[in-house]
């Protein structure tokens, strides 16, 4: 047996808003040629870059955070900007998030960051920005099982999407996007309209227990986050994918 690969640090943000029918979350459809979760409906996010650890001086709300947490939160905000165009950032010293007009003027940085043509530090310093890490609410922590060839150690965060930030998929890693209620996403997964992988489905289910952004944020703040490393159990009637019951999800096992 080959040794399991080391999980890569990764982060994702569940961007939330209150729609006409209640809570909505922004999700993207992964490009079919992407080597992880191709074609699936997912939350914007990805692996942490080396430069994400170097921006503590450009982050608000991280005074008590260790370096790993800073890199995860910075990476989550960067990935959200790259993948969906929302940027949780303020002008240095300001108490207000950048507005839609400022955001539009920063659009050209999305591809440069994605292609590593500019570092996150260079971007933030060039535009005199600081990341709003204080607005991220930890939500969940999942680690890809050892049997998978590509593994991630992923933190999920909740954030309120700024009203005047237009969320648009990047057209490269993601080919479509949607604001969707968690219940609608679950129904689409059940009907086959959407492909939703196991970790995403479990977190959408948990989100569906909240009726509004405020409810979701409060529930996450009150929850004890249990790290989830799925495992497979062989039983008489087949193999089951299992996760810890104490993680608080509706489903803790699923027949494969």
| Number of domains observed in the structure of the chain | 1
Instruction: Please count the other Cβ atoms lying within 10 Å of the Cβ belonging to residue 108.
Output: 8
Confidence of residue 225 (pLDDT cuts 50, 70, 90): very high
The answer to whether position 236 is within a domain reads: no
Report yes or no: 46 and 10 within 8 Å, Cβ to Cβ.
Answer: yes
Total Cβ atoms within 10 A of residue 111? 14
Q: What is the pLDDT of residue 100?
A: 92
Q: Is residue 24's pLDDT more than 90?
A: yes
> What string of DSSP letters covers the chain?
-PPPPPPEEEEEEEEEEEETTEEEEEEEEEPTTSSSSTT-EE-SEEEPPGGGGG-GGGBSS-TT--HHHHHHHHHHHHHHHHHH----EEETT-SSB--HHHHHHTTTHHHHHHTTSS-HHHHHHHTTEEE-GGG-EEEEEEE--TTSSS-EEEEEEEEEPPTTPPP---SSSEEEEEEE-HHHHHHHHHHTSS---HHHHHHHHHHTT-SSHHHHHHHHHHS----B--EEEEETTEEEEE--GGG--S-SEEE-
User: CATH number of the domain that 65 lies in?
Assistant: 3.90.79.10
Instruction: Tell whether the model's pLDDT for residue 192 goes beyond 70.
Output: yes
Q: What is the mean pLDDT of residues 130-143?
A: 98
Domain membership of residue 59 (yes or no) is yes
Spatial distance between the Cα atoms of 96 and 137, rounded to a whole number of angstroms? 18
CB 76 within 8 A of CB 43: no
Query: Position of tokens 């207000």?
Result: 96
Confidence (pLDDT) at 168: 64
Sign of the Cα torsion 27, 189, 34, 154 reads positive
**Is 206 domain-assigned?**
yes
pLDDT tens figures, 43-59: 989 999 989 999 999 99
Give the number of other CB atoms < 10 A from CB of residue 180.
19
83-97, 137-151, 153-167: the lowest-pLDDT one: 153-167
In a domain, 254, yes or no: no
What domain range includes position 173? 8-225
Mean pLDDT is lowest, of 96-100, 141-145, 189-193, for: 189-193
Could you tell me the pLDDT band of residue 32, with boundaries at 50, 70 and 90? very low
> Given this model, what pLDDT does residue 5 score?
87
Looking at the domain assignment, is residue 242 inside a domain?
A: no
How are beta strands 8-19 and 152-160 bridged, if at all? parallel
CA–CA dist 224, 194 (Å, integer):
30
Q: Over 50: is that where the pLDDT of 171 sits?
A: no
Average pLDDT, the chain: 90
Percent of the residues in the chain that have a pLDDT greater than 90, as a whole number = 76
């Amino acid at each position: 047996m080959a040794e399991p690969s080391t999980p890569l640090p990764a982060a994702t943000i569940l961007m939330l808003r209150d729609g006409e029918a209640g809570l909505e979350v922004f999700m993207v459809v992964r490009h079919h040629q992407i080597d992880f979760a191709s074609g699936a409906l997912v939350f914007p996010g990805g692996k942490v870059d080396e430069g994400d650890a170097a921006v503590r001086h450009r982050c608000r709300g991280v005074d008590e955070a260790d370096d790993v947490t800073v890199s995860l939160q910075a990476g989550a905000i960067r990935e959200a900007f790259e993948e969906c165009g929302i940027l949780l950032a303020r002008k240095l010293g300001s108490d207000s998030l950048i507005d839609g007009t400022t955001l539009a003027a920063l659009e050209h940085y999305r591809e440069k960051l994605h292609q590593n043509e500019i570092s996150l530090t260079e971007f933030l310093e060039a535009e005199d920005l600081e990341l709003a890490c204080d607005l991220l609410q930890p939500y969940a922590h999942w680690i890809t099982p050892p049997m998978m060839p590509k593994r991630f150690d992923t933190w999920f965060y909740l954030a309120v999407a700024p009203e005047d930030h237009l969320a648009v998929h990047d057209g490269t890693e993601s080919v479509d996007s949607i604001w969707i209620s968690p219940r609608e996403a679950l129904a689409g997964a059940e009907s086959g309209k959407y492909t939703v992988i196991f970790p995403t489905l479990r977190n959408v289910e948990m989100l569906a227990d909240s009726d509004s952004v405020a409810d979701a944020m409060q529930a996450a703040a009150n929850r004890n986050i249990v790290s989830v490393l799925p495992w497979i159990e062989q039983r008489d009637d087949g193999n089951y994918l299992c996760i810890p019951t104490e993680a608080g999800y509706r489903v803790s096992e699923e027949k494969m």
